[in-house]
């Protein structure tokens, strides 16, 4: 009898444990949204500072042990490797969502499950920047709103305008290289460029005057966006403001890193133009800058004028790639013809450029310093 009682009690205990275990499994909450990567074509609705941001992807990864937690991985959607013919080496990654971050991971907590939908919000702070986010997702779409504040820097919240002074205006350049043969004598490329800029006219305006006529103001926003006030045509009556999320920036010491969003540019400039059309002609030396940022050196003078420019380390490798083109006489002649047609009444001066173009491989080979950029005045 005692033996039978032992087996009876053992069976009861096992049964209780089994039913308790089953009950716990039945009560376990499971996220209605599995691990999914959302893109523009796959249900992603991403906003940055209240404006739509294109060309990105967000991966929702629920926590298997706790359905109230998940991670959101933010990154660029473009596959830059397909645009570069490389046999070895890693391809550059697409520009991320947050300026200066190729990939951003948000650890989401306190997720609210509502049927087949999850809702969430939170704050992420890292390296001096703050991301406030909120959103919701189902298995077929993810809506994510981001409000970002980047680390304090000298440019955040400032605005600059173009200069029209009858000279170079807002154009800045410096090119130090060996002199080249020029009509029986020699000339230097720095002086040649200055003369070209001063005399070249399009529709009766010099290049600096045209620049001031189509670009009015550049503003560096605290969220990392760069906005411009511009005109499509010189004859336009009103200035336009560029869309958000086309160009963003970070500042590191005396460097500005400029990040371009090709998908956003394609949508803003001409919706019939694809991203591949914009990037198709870019060379391998340029593509990595999409993810790493285009490096601009900058300085501010005592009057508050800012000069930002591409420096030798950035420009010279690109110039060396295009130098062989100027060894092709047919290319040089076609370039001269195109410039002559565009110069109008000043077309007779274009012929003076041919020795400069022919000498370009020599100029590039002997270049010690080359800088091109803009000089802008502060908006007061």
Q: Where are the domains of the chain?
A: 36-149, 158-269+279-378
Query: Are 172 and 307 contacting, i.e. CB atoms less than 8 angstroms apart?
Result: yes
| Mean pLDDT over each residue of the chain, to the nearest integer | 85
In the structure, what pLDDT confidence band is assigned to residue 217 with cuts at 50, 70 and 90? very high
Phi, psi of 271 (to 5 degrees): -70, -10
Query: Are 72 and 55 contacting, i.e. CB atoms less than 8 angstroms apart?
Result: no
> CA-CA distance, 132 to 125, in Å (whole number)?
9
Least confident of 118-132, 175-189, 326-340: 326-340
C-alpha distances in angstroms, 376 versus 1, 234, 363, 370?
100, 19, 28, 19
pLDDT digits (tens, 9 = 90+) for 44-96: 999 999 999 999 999 999 999 999 999 999 999 876 555 555 544 556 677 89
pLDDT digits (tens, 9 = 90+) for 26-41: 567 888 999 999 999 9
The alpha helices in the chain, defined as continuous H runs, are 2-27, 189-199, 207-214, 262-269, 275-279, 288-292, 312-322, 329-343, 354-358, 360-365
Query: Are 217 and 161 contacting, i.e. CB atoms less than 8 angstroms apart?
Result: yes
Q: What is the pLDDT of residue 276?
A: 52
The mean pLDDT of 125-135, rounded to a whole number, is 95
- Six-digit token pair at 287? 């593509």
- The answer on pLDDT for 232 being more than 80 is yes
In the structure, what pLDDT confidence band is assigned to residue 281 with cuts at 50, 70 and 90? very low
Q: What is the pLDDT of residue 89?
A: 52
Q: What is the pLDDT of residue 279?
A: 46
The mean pLDDT of 263-285, rounded to a whole number, is 59
- The answer on pLDDT for 194 being more than 80 is yes
- Six-digit token pair at 124? 């992420």
> CA-CA distance, 236 to 220, in Å (whole number)?
24
For residues 285 and 306, which has the higher predicted lDDT (pLDDT)?
A: 306
Beta strand 158-161 with 369-378: parallel, antiparallel or unpaired? antiparallel
Sort residue 191 into left (φ over 0), alpha (ψ -120 to 50) or beta. Answer: alpha
- The answer on pLDDT for 7 being more than 70 is no
Query: Are 228 and 218 contacting, i.e. CB atoms less than 8 angstroms apart?
Result: yes
Q: What is the pLDDT of residue 17?
A: 47
In the structure, what pLDDT confidence band is assigned to residue 292 with cuts at 50, 70 and 90? confident
In the structure, what pLDDT confidence band is assigned to residue 295 with cuts at 50, 70 and 90? very high
- The answer on pLDDT for 112 being more than 90 is yes
In the structure, what pLDDT confidence band is assigned to residue 264 with cuts at 50, 70 and 90? confident
Report which listed range, 15-24, 64-73, 288-297, is most confident.
Answer: 64-73
Handedness of CA 160, 161, 163, 168 (dihedral sign): positive
For residues 196 and 15, which has the higher predicted lDDT (pLDDT)?
A: 196
pLDDT digits (tens, 9 = 90+) for 136-180: 999 999 999 999 999 989 999 999 999 987 778 899 999 999 999
In the structure, what pLDDT confidence band is assigned to residue 288 with cuts at 50, 70 and 90? confident
Percent of the chain with pLDDT over 90: 62
Least confident of 6-20, 92-106, 208-222: 6-20
For residues 354 and 289, which has the higher predicted lDDT (pLDDT)?
A: 354
- The answer on pLDDT for 135 being more than 60 is yes
Query: Are 163 and 376 contacting, i.e. CB atoms less than 8 angstroms apart?
Result: yes
Instruction: Name the nearest CA neighbour of 53 among 100, 98, 101, 104.
Output: 98
In the structure, what pLDDT confidence band is assigned to residue 270 with cuts at 50, 70 and 90? low
Least confident of 67-81, 176-190, 272-286, 312-326: 272-286
Phi, psi of 33 (to 5 degrees): -115, 115
């Amino acid at each position: 009898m005692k033996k039978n009682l032992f087996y009876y009690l053992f069976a009861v205990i096992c049964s209780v444990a089994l039913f308790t275990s089953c009950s716990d499994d039945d009560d376990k909450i499971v996220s209605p949204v599995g691990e999914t990567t959302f893109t523009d074509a796959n249900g992603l609705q991403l906003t940055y500072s209240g404006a739509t941001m294109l060309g990105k992807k967000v991966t929702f990864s629920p926590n298997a042990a706790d359905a109230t937690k998940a991670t959101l991985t933010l990154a660029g959607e473009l596959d830059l490797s397909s645009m570069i013919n490389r046999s070895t080496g890693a391809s550059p990654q697409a520009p991320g969502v947050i300026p200066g971050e190729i990939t951003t991971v948000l650890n989401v907590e306190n997720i609210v499950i509502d049927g087949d939908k999850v809702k969430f919000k939170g704050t992420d702070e890292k390296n001096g920047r703050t991301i406030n986010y909120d959103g919701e997702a189902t298995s077929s779409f993810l809506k994510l709103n981001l409000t970002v504040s980047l680390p304090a820097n000298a440019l955040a919240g400032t605005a600059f305008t173009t200069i029209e002074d009858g000279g170079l205006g807002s154009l800045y350049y410096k090119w130090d290289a060996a002199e080249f043969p020029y009509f029986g004598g020699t000339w230097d490329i720095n002086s040649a460029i200055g003369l070209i800029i001063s005399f070249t006219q399009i529709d009766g305006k010099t290049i600096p005057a045209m620049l001031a006529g189509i670009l009015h103001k550049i503003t560096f926003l605290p969220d990392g966006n760069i906005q411009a006030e511009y005109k499509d045509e010189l004859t336009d009556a009103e200035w336009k403001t560029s869309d958000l999320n086309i160009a963003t920036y970070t500042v590191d010491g005396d460097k500005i890193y400029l990040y371009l969003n090709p998908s956003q540019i394609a949508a803003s400039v001409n919706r019939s133009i694809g991203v591949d059309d914009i990037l198709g002609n870019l060379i391998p030396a340029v593509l990595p800058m999409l993810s790493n940022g285009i490096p601009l050196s900058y300085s501010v003078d005592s009057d508050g004028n800012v000069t930002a420019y591409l420096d030798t380390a950035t420009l010279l490798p690109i110039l060396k790639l295009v130098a062989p083109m100027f060894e092709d006489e047919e290319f040089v002649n076609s370039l001269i013809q195109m410039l002559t047609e565009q110069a109008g009444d000043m077309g007779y001066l274009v012929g003076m450029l041919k020795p400069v173009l022919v000498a370009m491989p020599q100029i590039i080979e002997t270049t010690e310093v080359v800088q091109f950029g803009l000089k802008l005045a502060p908006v007061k």
